[in-house]
Amino acid sequence: MTNNAESQVLTDGFHLVLDALKLNGIKTIYGLPGIPITDLTRMAQAEGLRVISFRHEQNAGNAAAIAGFLSGKPGVCLTVSAPGFLNGLVALANATTNCFPMILISGSSEREIVDLQQGDYEEMDQLAIAKPLCKAAFRVLNAEDIGVGIARAIRAAVSGRPGGVYLDLPAKLFSQIMDAEAGKKSLIQVVDPSPRQIPAPEAVQRALDLLKGARKPLILLGKGAAYAQADEEIRTLVEKTGIPYLPMSMAKGILPDTHAQSASAARSFVLPEADVVLLIGARLNWLLSHGKGKTWGGKSHKDWGGQKFIQIDIAATEMDSNVRIDAPLVGDVGSCVSALLAGMGSQWAQPPAEWLNAVAERKNKNVAKMAETLAKDPSPMNFHSALNVVRDIIKANPDAMLVNEGANALDFTRSIVDMYKPRKRLDVGTWGVMGIGMGFAVAAAVETGQPVIAVEGDSAFGFSGMEVETICRYNLPVCVVILNNNGVYRGTDKNLGGGADVAPTVFVKDSRYEKLMEAFGGVGVYAATTAELRKGMEEAIRLRRPTLINAVIDESAGTESGRITSLNPAAALKK
């Protein structure tokens, strides 16, 4: 832009935002255009950024969050003010809870009017609302501060424990004009945004001493370990120590699930039996029964099982959050695992054979039992027979991404479908939230270029289902498999009041979900048998075409709340 009077070259807020993002290696914006950011999305495309435009901000936000997990760079989501911002906020809060780096950028209305509550178009004090729900929140009022604002947002998102950051950009900022040269100089290319954090030598020694004395050691890998991209170091540690390991759901594949040391099939045996547990990027939250109770061999649900814990985590405040951590190892996973390896020297004793044999015995028994179940091919299909097909497809295509949400659809997929490579399984995460499906699927395809298989419960799919249009619009190689049992948990519930309405958990029977995909030019498949499901999935992967497979399973298959029945208050009443 040129100012003729002085022939001075000018820039504006729009371009400074885009230039700052580009300068920091951001290549894709996930979002939904509208006032006041419509032009920003157009200009972003013009400036060579990829803009993936969604049908609902929550899905765009989920896409940005998982892009952050996959790439280690903040995923960027762009929304309009008030309602659009609020829709995106669900994803921002979820990203923060899951430690995914993400920046939600929302346009907002003018401060002067918002602060006096004079009733502007989509008026809302967005910064104040976002603050408690994310790691950091910033607002930029002047064009010359855009560089600092974006730099601070990037650092806050990816340094230390990653998380969600909110960046508030009032509409007037975009049209502010400044000298182009001065504008360029005001931008910051962030140096070393997620610096390594090296653990203290005495903390490493403490951890090694504890591990050395263990009779029944266990390693637990969490999604922090997957995020850290320290795959080689982790594999070396596991194999050098010979310790059995358990992957949390999104850590599956850091080592292949078929690895001899995987204790997944003996989970309920190793947790209460282990004497020393090494946690790598995994929190002792509800997903691990808070490190105590019967799962861990305690007598009642609050009892300590007697295990000693070594915990590797980048957040020092995570230590002792649920039970005592005997050897905290604060630092990034790569540095901590390398330090442990260095401290072990060339000789490190393997765990006692008695422990390894006991784990192997339990594991082999359970694997054989599962193989028997998977070999059955009932009509109609059930979760096991349908997921046996997905299991084969992933085995044949280990680079494919797997997105997974639902209740039973989640639990069964996690235990049946083996993963072979790191960061391939993306799921409901720490909150067990529904609605991540299509947002994650879109970003998984965009970020990796690999085929994506999204295994969805029929209820879970409904939260983001409209994004099949987005999948078709960008012609993404996404194959959605809906495990359709006509309802939430299952389709057989009855109206307890005896009225004409169906039960709250029941959907329209025999819904033809595949026609949704056909409506936008994708491939729809109705699969009543495992052969039809297999053929549909194989074609989807081969042709890389947007596909939705309506996999019809027994409507009585599935349990209430899946495997977390104990968290359902009704279960407590029944006791």
Task: Select from 282, 359, 387, 389 the one that contacts ligand ADP (CB under 6 A).
Answer: 282
DSSP structure class, residue 294 = G
* Comparison of 430 and 484: residue with beta carbon closer to ligand ADP: 430
Q: Is 411 in the site for ligand ADP (CB under 6 A)?
A: no
> By beta-carbon distance, which residue lies closest to ligand ADP?
224
224: its two tokens: 């922090």
Q: How far apart are CA 530 and CA 446, in angstroms?
A: 29
Do the beta carbons of residue 331 and residue 312 sit within 8 Å?
yes
Residue numbers 416-435 binding ligand ADP by CB under 6 A: 430
* Comparison of 57 and 318: residue with beta carbon closer to ligand ADP: 318
473: its two tokens: 């619009």
Q: Is 135 in the site for ligand ADP (CB under 6 A)?
A: no
Q: Is 74 in the site for ligand ADP (CB under 6 A)?
A: no
Identify which of 203, 280, 283 has the alpha carbon closest to the alpha carbon of residue 245.
Answer: 280
Do the beta carbons of residue 130 and residue 137 sit within 8 Å?
yes
Q: Is 234 in the site for ligand ADP (CB under 6 A)?
A: no
Task: Select from 233, 257, 313, 554 the one that contacts ligand ADP (CB under 6 A).
Answer: 313
* Comparison of 33 and 164: residue with beta carbon closer to ligand ADP: 164
Q: Using N-to-C axis directions, what is the helix angle for 383-396 and 408-416, rounded to 10°?
A: 50
Query: Which stretch, 54-62, 169-177, 281-289, 463-471, contacts ligand ADP (CB under 6 A)?
Result: 281-289
Task: Select from 63, 157, 314, 434 the one that contacts ligand ADP (CB under 6 A).
Answer: 314
Q: Which residue has the tokens 């997921």?
A: 387
**Distances from the Cα of 96 to the Cαs of 66, 122, 164, 540, in angstroms?**
11, 25, 5, 33
Q: Is 355 in the site for ligand ADP (CB under 6 A)?
A: no
Task: Select from 29, 66, 228, 446 the one that contacts ligand ADP (CB under 6 A).
Answer: 228
DSSP structure class, residue 198 = P
Q: How far apart are CA 162 and CA 168, in angstroms?
A: 19
Query: Which stretch, 247-255, 405-413, 537-545, 563-571, contacts ligand ADP (CB under 6 A)?
Result: 247-255
Q: Is 291 in the site for ligand ADP (CB under 6 A)?
A: no
Amino acid residing at 424: K
Binding pattern for the stretch 157-196 against ligand ADP, x by CB under 6 A and - elsewhere: ----xx----------------------------------
**Backbone angle region of 423, left / alpha / beta, with phi > 0 → left and psi within -120 to 50 → alpha:** left
Do the beta carbons of residue 441 and residue 45 sit within 8 Å?
no
Residue numbers 208-227 binding ligand ADP by CB under 6 A: 222-224, 227
CB 151, min distance to ligand ADP, A: 20
Q: Is 318 in the site for ligand ADP (CB under 6 A)?
A: yes
> Can you list the positions of beta strands (E) in 296-440?
308-313, 327-330, 401-405, 425-427
CB 78, min distance to ligand ADP, A: 25
Q: How far apart are CA 193 and CA 185, in angstroms?
A: 19
Task: Select from 285, 295, 322, 366 the one that contacts ligand ADP (CB under 6 A).
Answer: 285
10 Å CB burial of residue 184 (0-12, 13-18, 19+) is: middle
Residues forming contacts to ligand ADP in the complex (CB under 6 A) are 98-99, 161-162, 222-224, 227-228, 248, 250-251, 281-283, 285, 287, 313-315, 318, 332-333, 430
